[in-house]
Amino acid sequence: MYGGKKTTKVHGHPTADPGETTSLLSSGGSGSGQNLKRLKSYQWWAYFVTFGAYFMAHFSRKCYSTVKPQLKTEAGLNQNILSEMDSVFMATYAIGSFISGRLGDTYRPTTIVALGLLGSGICLFAMTIGIVFEFEKASESFGNLFYLSTYFIFGFFQSSGGPVGTAIMGNWFCDPASKKNRGLIFGTWTCHQYLGDIIAAVCTAILLHFKVVYWWSLVIPAVCNLGWGFLCMYCLTPEPEEMGIDTSSFNPKKAAAAAKSTADSPAAPAKPIGFMDALMIPNVAGYAFAFGFFKLTNYVLFFWLPYFLSLHFDPSTANLVSTLYSFGMMPGGIIVGKVSDIFGGRRACVIACFQVCLVPLLWVMAETSEKLPIGAMMTMLCLMGILIGGPNNILTSAVAADLSEHPSIKGNSKR
């Protein structure tokens, strides 16, 4: 019960009584204003915790690439194994995104995000144990298998942040004002990943500068991931309905569909849509292709930029220079989000323009990177960060939220 209002429970979650919803819609009464006020009061907390969850995921993900030179020279891992670790991570991360999305629809989403953070922390601790006890030097075959297996599992745990975290954000930012400014809201929210990358690089640079043993760059994000995982599990509510907030009052069509569904089959829960159903939503295939292009480019730089720069700078300086790419990615997302809001949510046009501008810069980087002076290199990294980060941010957040509300899904929140 909230404020004396009548609620019913469907599968353990309190929801507004259908009769009350119909009454609110017909009268436009104070119930809708009360719901909006309570929704707004919790949005900042949902934003903060989900922002931190994805920040922690990237903090732990980036720390490995910042110590690649040390993993090669001190831990004894050769360049082939480091490349194979990247490959198995990306494979399990891609597969895990589908699995995590379905798990987030089937089970409590905040639990799935929390398990991803907890598992990531455990994997980093396992890698640290392998480094401290010199698994690679004791037995090369065992060491290679250990690190590959650990990073294989790490990819699955890391995959939970994107699809499930975005779904939680979409649940909470569902009011008309949030939808109107969705590009800007999600553009700022997706800065989490780049802040995580920057803090990981700065953390490693500080540790190396003060001659602290490099594997502390893995231990620190591991501890942070474990702590934030417990925060997500116990202090974050995945959807307004669990707090008795009737979001259908913001959408008359959704309310009518929910009332009809409840009248027809009151106990039947919404089923998660399948992969092919999602693929049939207009524009999903095109967005997926564009997202694949940006992800490929981003992760090549994500994993190998610190290593490449270490050939030109000392390890501490190389990590600091690499942060320019991440710094550029943050305003990129905000720019694309705000511009697409101005054009009424036409995000595809803005994304395509950024994609076209990026191609010549990639060519210049590939052909002249070893000859570019430091000033030109830093400028290139910032520009590429803006052009890659902007579309990448919006595709993983605002576009995903837009597509999840397409009429073909018929109000199904299991998306």
Asked if residue 32 belongs to a domain, the reply is: no
Predicted pLDDT at 252: 56
Instruction: Give the ranges where 107-251 is alpha helix by DSSP (H).
Output: 109-132, 135-138, 140-158, 161-172, 176-180, 182-189, 191-209, 216-235
Q: How confident is the model at residue 412 (pLDDT cuts 50, 70, 90)?
A: low
Asked if residue 11 belongs to a domain, the reply is: no
Predicted pLDDT at 146: 96
Asked if residue 365 belongs to a domain, the reply is: yes
Domain span at residue 324? Answer: 39-252+271-409
Coil vs helix vs strand at 193: helix
183 CB-near residues (< 8 Å, 6+ apart): 336, 337, 338, 339, 340, 341, 345, 347, 394, 398
Asked if residue 140 belongs to a domain, the reply is: yes
Q: Judge contact between 81 and 147, C-beta under 8 A.
A: yes
- The tally of domains found in the chain comes to 1
DSSP letter at 247 equals G
Asked if residue 27 belongs to a domain, the reply is: no
Asked if residue 15 belongs to a domain, the reply is: no
Predicted pLDDT at 152: 96
Asked if residue 6 belongs to a domain, the reply is: no
The CATH number of residue 223's host domain is 1.20.1250.20
Distances (CA, A) of 291 to 296, 330, 395, 396, 408: 8, 17, 7, 8, 22
In DSSP terms, 10 is beta-bridged to 13
Mean pLDDT highest for which of 199-203, 228-232, 295-299, 374-378?
A: 228-232
Asked if residue 161 belongs to a domain, the reply is: yes
Predicted pLDDT at 213: 94
Predicted pLDDT at 220: 97
